[in-house]
Amino acid sequence: MIIAGRLVSPERVMRGQIRIEGERIVEVGPQLGRPDVEFDDDCLIFAGMGDIHIHARDDVSERETYKEDFRTASAAAIHGGVVHVADMPNNPAAPIDDASYRAKQRHLEKRQVPITVTLYAGIGPGTRPLSFAVPYKVYMGPSVGDLFFTTLEELDQTLSRYRGCNVSFHCEDPVLLSAHRDEPTHERRRPPACEISATRFALTMIEKYDLTGKLCHYSVGEGLPLIREARSKGLKVTCEVTPHHLFFDETGITDENRGQMQMNPPLRRPSDRRALLEALRGGTLDYLATDHAPHTLAEKADPAKRPSGQPHLDTYGPFVTWLMLVEGFTPEKIAAVCCANPGEFVNPYVATLGLRFGRLEPGYTASLTVLNLARPTTVRREDLKTKCGWSPFEGITFPGSIEAVFVRGSRMP
């Protein structure tokens, strides 16, 4: 199969063609032959986009599958132009050792989803590395589930066993969180100081134990210079940012939307939102990763429960067109933060499946995300594929849309 149109890489946009055989890209060039599929100039063809921070809520316990499961998460991902995801480990049956990780993997295989799901393993009090290579996630402070530490000394001790591993950090200092527990709002109970303090600690751990580190859902402007400084010292650290921290800020929180707008870390000041957009554009932030958290509207409306997080898989690609056409992000920058960088993150783990994501080059998996920059998308509840059935973007019109999605050589319906 030959696909023709405007091809985007982190280096350039060029008119060209891609030849696909089976699940793989075998050739890319200006003119390979008569195309089977041709996309016009309103469209941009990207390597398949990857969201390396989601919560699909599905595991062997099936206790949270009323919110989402791998099938509905996969449908929402494809609807949003996402071809691979990485799923967080804070499940009721958390994958924290060889046996529990393999069990979740078998459970995922049973679901037979078209997208590729990389599973994180959790790091919690007393855990040890698995016997095979996986990405790890560590929750410093109380979040969802039991996978968290109450003191940083305890976390340091545990991380000492994970020397050289790939570890993602949820940066909120548990000690500072508990010092602010009686503040009147969610935002004031989790102030910027918690994230800045935790950033310092995470960077210290990354250096001390030679970790390949990633900071999740970064939200505070003052923390960004710390990340740049650590990189200039040679630390291996990358950083995610979410659609909600780039689009919303705390001034938009009302009594009506308070539940829906609650997440960890919380929405921040307008100045933080601007700083994050500039840091994503400038390269301090590496990945657009959603932290897709499919809680039901009933749970979000109940002040006694009110779990944190927002669903974002359905709207990933349309949101990207907002970054491009409203915030002026170049196609090349989008190819870096939505395709190449997420691909680089998961490729060591998907190689065993014969997969390689992130670039429109021979040898890479033939998964593609095609955006249409001339046809807007208005987000409507009835169009969403996520089982939780809502989006914080409902009623919002993004300037572009998903034109087509190819997953491992096949065009998705």
CB of 330 to Zn ion, least distance (A): 28
Segment lying near Zn ion (by CB under 5 A), choices 74-82, 171-179, 286-294, 297-305: 286-294
Q: Does 291 bind Zn ion (CB under 5 A)?
A: yes
User: Mask: binding to Zn ion, 233-272, rule CB under 5 A, as x and -?
Assistant: ----------------------------------------
Single out the segment in contact with Zn ion by CB under 5 A; choices: 79-87, 177-185, 194-202, 287-295. 287-295
User: For Zn ion, which residue has the nearest CB?
Assistant: 291
CB of 161 to Zn ion, least distance (A): 23
Interior angle at CA 48, CA 327 and CA 238, nearest 5? 65
Q: Which of residues 87-146 bind Zn ion (CB under 5 A)?
A: none
- Give the chain's length: 413
CB of 217 to Zn ion, least distance (A): 6
In whole angstroms, what is the distance from residue 317 CA to residue 315 CA? Answer: 6
Of the candidate spans 69-77, 102-110, 207-215, 283-291, the one that interacts with Zn ion by CB under 5 A turns out to be 283-291
Cα distance between residue 155 and residue 148, in whole Å: 9
Nearer to Zn ion, 68 or 291 (CB): 291
* Residue whose CB is less far from Zn ion, 74 or 242: 242
Task: Select 122 or 331, whichever has its Cβ closest to Zn ion.
Answer: 122
Under rule CB under 5 A, how many of the chain's residues touch Zn ion?
1
Which of 307/331 has CB closer to Zn ion? 307
Give the interface with Zn ion as residue ranges (CB under 5 A): 291
